Structure 1
């Protein structure tokens, strides 16, 4: 078995395991929402904080990597706005398509990066998340609210209260201040971080909704093609244009090749979007990524 498949198949096995456990009603329906909240508010922020607190901020490629992230995201957003103008999508549908193209499964991404690139890759990935998470959340809220307008408070408050963003900011501040977790705090954060990704992947599997895949196949397949093939191709082009080093280029392509985030379903329901379409996109993209992600990474290598 190739090193790439050796690194990736356990991640998808955990996703399948999460889906199977929920179907078997083990350990119970109440477990999964509680597990998601525990991971979202405590375990995953601990991973981001500890990664950013020790991230190599002196890396000379960081400005180019930040530019690549924002350039790729900006080009995709402009293309989505053009498609909406041409197709006349209402906000509920436009918001689902936007999240299907721009959002990404952070748990799967960091688990893959940890397997493929180790701690150095995780530190750079955490820096990318410090840019991507707030930007993608802002664009998602705006897209879902485009028809009725959205106030600055409604747009920025969810971003400012996001525990992942707060953990990124705290980790950066500690890093810039030259401080470091000491007295066993680093060990505590490491234990919390180690629990985050396996639990997150199980929750991803538990959130899959194959029953939502009925109908709208052209729209579903088109969105999946853009997210799983078009976006990594865009990232590859941007990385070549900006002459990113090998690791940074690989991280950019990987993040842009990830399936959309399961949390997109919650946001879509909260803001009155097309939750049926969003659930179908999350499920189909996650299933197809089991094939597209190893293939893209193998071709790139």
Structure 2
């Protein structure tokens, strides 16, 4: 039953892959589609869902704490494990991103499919904590060997991130209790509705199957940590923080999904190993078709 719920999501990813490989609607479309989704459509979705989220609910606040603990603990353990090897930032950065980052479009789509649209508000709270955290960790991991961009540049990249801005605006509106005025909720809602299907198509277009031929053992190891170990850690944190059933399911879902395709762009921009990052994104996205139903079914979610 769970597979029937989520297969259309992966169907959109496969459709995006097929369209990109056949040249439809053109090679220039996909970078522009990713850009408009990143700077406009997806932030609009975050604003709408966070503006209506019950941020005063203790269970919602516990979800944010559990999210922070899960990502921070996973990052710390992996960094300590890698310390004796002293990997270059160009490779450590992609590896860490492969473990702690997540494909937001896929996560929200699965949450909506499994738990219903009403759970998107709680999911947006998770994103308000996780998005800035994983971006900071990713930049630090790609520059930790001394080639730092500087604290000012790091802070600028954080505060100007469209997703972080969208989260901040939505949280401010929710705390003010004013709601979105003058029909803005409908306007932003229409924009947000386009975000998930377009984002999933872009995920498929970004897949690089040829990258799977390199470093199979590394890709397999990182994928196991991301797709199997992370959801188990998240489930443990849900128990420790006393999360309700829906909040626990949201935390586990976002821990069980593959890493973000945008991690490849960041890796390239910061001089990291783009081939390794492309391989991680592709391997995890393909493997997730099987691991997500397994993990969610094992933990009784869905």
Name the TM tier (shorter chain).
over 0.9
Match of 1:136 in 2: 134
How do 1:224-235 and structure 2 match up within 5 A?
Answer: 224-235=223-234
Runs of 4+ in 1 over 4 A off after TM superposition: none
Q: Whole-Å Cα distance in 1 between the matches of residues 140 and 77 of structure 2?
A: 15
- Normalising by structure 2, report the TM-score: 0.97
Match of 2:219 in 1: 220
Greater Cα shift, 42-51 or 111-120: 111-120
Q: Whole-Å Cα distance in 1 between the matches of residues 70 and 10 of structure 2?
A: 26
The alpha carbon displacement at 1:149 in A equals 4.3
1:272 correspondence with 2:266: no
**Which of 40, 43, 48 is equivalent to 2:46?**
48
**1:169-222 C-alpha deviation (Å, 9 max, x unpaired):** 001111111111233222111111111100000000000000111121111100
Q: Whole-Å Cα distance in 1 between the matches of residues 73 and 146 of structure 2?
A: 25
How do 1:92-103 and structure 2 match up within 5 A?
Answer: 92-103=90-101
Q: Whole-Å Cα distance in 1 between the matches of residues 171 and 215 of structure 2?
A: 43
- Normalising by structure 1, report the TM-score: 0.97
Q: Whole-Å Cα distance in 1 between the matches of residues 257 and 280 of structure 2?
A: 13
**1:125-170 C-alpha deviation (Å, 9 max, x unpaired):** 1011011000100010001001124221122211111101101100
Match of 1:108 in 2: 106
Q: 1:76 to 1:69 in 2, by over 3 A?
A: same
How do 1:125-164 and structure 2 match up within 5 A?
Answer: 125-150=123-148, 151-164=150-163
Match of 2:164 in 1: 165
Instruction: Give me the CA root mean square deviation.
Output: 1.0
Greater Cα shift, 117-126 or 137-146: 117-126
The alpha carbon displacement at 1:63 in A equals 2.7
Q: Whole-Å Cα distance in 2 between the matches of residues 140 and 265 of structure 1?
A: 11
Q: Whole-Å Cα distance in 2 between the matches of residues 237 and 86 of structure 1?
A: 27
Q: Whole-Å Cα distance in 2 between the matches of residues 201 and 100 of structure 1?
A: 18
The alpha carbon displacement at 1:79 in A equals 1.1
